[in-house]
Chain A
């Protein structure tokens, strides 16, 4: 029997890591991720878990220790945010390059300068191409559910890639919500102990991190692309199994009102929840609007996105990070390149919002919906890239 708990996003992630029986945690605290590490170290202190908790001197070291532990065959968890994730950047590529199925809770926070501790997606978008599977959650429940699923996806022998489970800093990390938590026994049935295809073993030595010049580097990188391509069927399988256990349906993309929507908002994370509340109100007024929320951002679910578009005429893509000098934000670039040349007569515009934790209000989102409905009617995009909620 699942039980109901009041958990913040951070607490939900820590609780999922605990139930996943991770062997090793190496982490360094940073606001707003700190509660994850704090909660987990409390589990260790109370003897609730048998995890090797490695205290390190920086995030760079945290990820380095995680990589070593993962290669030794351990189930490994860590968490970071913002400047911490940026300091890890080098090691993120090594984790995916060496095919370490580490799961990391990333509590999204703005990057300096100017210094700020609040939620936006600059940190993860800055490490977007690190070769990790990247999942964005709307609420604490999703954070809990995705961490449990992330281990199973990461550790699958067809994938063997690290996964980040992203939650919005403060908005989710520090907000207490209702979370349905599953029995330890059920989680154990869903997620058995890690079966690593290879592990560091003095009796059967192998070489990790050998030099690959012009002769092999390209081939190894090509393999990583393939591993990300292999992820979708594995994610499908894990989602189905999870649904069998919990009744909760997960996929690459979550939609609301798309069955008849003419205009929609596409965004990641907690903003999708606010957008759903606004769409609900507008739909009750007879307006055909909807919301598209990619759960999985990498690998980008292009095919699934094309299948969900239905009769949409206008799409507003919301980016919570900027790509300075680029035509669009990162998310919108992915959407536009998915749509290009596939025959969809769909007009797109990009709204960059919420940098440094600036609140995205229901009023802001309603204005975006109104603009999208206008674009659907006229077929004209007046401003392809706009900034919502910034003072002129």
Chain B
């Protein structure tokens, strides 16, 4: 089965990195992967998207992702400014970093049928890392919402990518985000 994930964030928030971390984790799980950025002028702060494809079979398709199964909103300030649900499959999943209540969020996202998960990744990152870097937290929330990769593999690739204390802290962030992510009813 092919799962297509679209990441929304801003330049400088590690959207390319997180789209790749998910792909590396899927590789450890024995899957086939693709991870690629939305190619454009990369400017700090500008809205950017990243993509990850994961499949049990070799992936031959090389076009952009038009109908993602999962949309991950890394930057909460983008909600309501960028059309996050564009092309999302009918029963798709949205994983959002937000503090907003479920009614407002549903209205803002205009996604009636989608499965929505929220997590306050900004708070978790500030608590654990002491810095507002919340891309890795969204990996934990994503796995809770849609178990396309194992949390074990995520931890392994994060520790490899960020050796030492930084890696350990990020693993803690991911664990907490996994625990705190909640489905919006």
Binding site for B on A (CB under 8 A): 4-6, 117-118, 138-139, 168, 170-172, 174-178, 270-271, 273-274, 276-277, 357, 359-363
Contacts and interface: CB of A to CB of B under 8 A. Distances in A.
Contacts of A177: 33-34, 59
B26 to A, nearest CB: 9
Contact of B36 (A175, A274, A276, A277): A175
Nearest to B38: A170
Contacts of A270: 62
B33 A277 contact: no
B64 A6 contact: no
A276 B59 CA distance: 10
B7 interface: no
A273 B39 contact: no
A262 B64 CA distance: 28
Interface in B110-143: none
Contacts of A175: 34-36, 62
Interface of B: 20, 23-24, 27, 31-37, 39, 59-64, 66
B163 to A, nearest CB: 16
A6 B61 contact: no
A357 B62 CA distance: 12
A359 B63 contact: yes
A360 B34 contact: no
B23 A6 contact: yes
A135 B3 CA distance: 31
10 contacts: A4-B27, A6-B35, A138-B62, A170-B36, A170-B39, A176-B35, A176-B36, A273-B62, A274-B61, A362-B63
Most central of B27, B36, B62 by chain A CB within 10 Å: B62
A274 B62 contact: yes
A139 B62 CA distance: 9
A6 B62 contact: no
A389 B31 CA distance: 32
A359 B64 contact: yes
Most central of A118, A277, A360 by chain B CB within 10 Å: A277
A178 B55 CA distance: 11
Nearest to B31: A178
A367 B24 CA distance: 34
B60 A138 contact: yes
A6 B39 contact: no
A176 B61 contact: no
Contact of A174 (B39, B59, B63): B39
Contact of B39 (A118, A139, A274, A277): A118
A6 B27 contact: yes
Given A6-B27, A176-B20, A274 B60 contact: yes
User: What 9 A-B pairs are tightest by C-beta distance, nearest first?
Assistant: A273-B60, A175-B36, A270-B62, A176-B35, A277-B61, A170-B39, A276-B60, A273-B62, A359-B64
B8 to A, nearest CB: 18
Given A176-B33, A176-B34, A360 B63 contact: yes
Contacts of B27: 4-6, 178
Contacts of A360: 63
Contacts of B37: 174
Contacts of A138: 60, 62
A2 to B, nearest CB: 13
Nearest to B66: A361
Nearest to A361: B63
A123 to B, nearest CB: 17
B20 A6 contact: yes
A170 B39 CA distance: 7
A174 to B, nearest CB: 6
Given A176-B35, A361-B66, 19 more contacts: A6-B33, A118-B39, A138-B62, A139-B60, A139-B62, A170-B39, A171-B36, A171-B62, A172-B62, A175-B62, A176-B23, A176-B24, A176-B34, A177-B59, A270-B62, A271-B62, A277-B61, A361-B63, A363-B66
